[in-house]
Amino acid sequence: MDKMKGNKKLSPEQREELLRTLKSRFEKNMNRHKGLEWAKVQARLEAQSEKIWSLHEMEATGGEPDVVGQDKKTGEYVFYDCSAETPKGRRSICYDRAALDARKEFKPKSSAMDMASEMGSELLTEEQYRELQKLGNFDAKTSSWVKTPPEIRKLGGAIFCDRRYGTVFVYHNGAESYYAVRGFRSSLKV
């Protein structure tokens, strides 16, 4: 990841480039955020530099974040990774730190939960993943870990989703498993 150790601030050039990218994506995909205005999103972003840094990390790892709604209670804008396939910079990872630590050999480089935490974002839930799929066809060739209910995780499992045959599927795997085509999608509220 393109990270400045301990410094979660972008240079003015990085900030402007990211805002241009986000604005362009926002304008090209109005179906994802009907009734919302970019100027209001940008004003919120500019007031929260740590959120801009998180969006930069989502972008840098291939997530193509975009606004998918607004929280009616808080007024926060909701961003999801909207890349066609699970982000390239976040694949070949197991589910969480406990799963990573449990592997004796052939350990992946990281876990989905650790990477999301480092980025300042969260894994999509199954419900959020299904919401995303209403906005387009995502993960036709890949799959994405989603936030796993504690009762499943306690038993050693984790869940992931993908889209095949025009349908969203939810599957399970051992949390320590990892595959070249499995990563995760993030959500971030700004």
**Stretch 130-137: mean pLDDT, rounded?**
97
User: pLDDT by residue (tens digit) across 82-115?
Assistant: 999 999 999 999 999 999 999 988 999 999 999 9
At residue 183, φ and ψ (nearest 5 deg) are: -140, -140
* 0.75 exceeded by pTM: yes
- Listed residue (145, 112, 120) closest to 57, CA to CA: 120
**Stretch 157-173: mean pLDDT, rounded?**
97
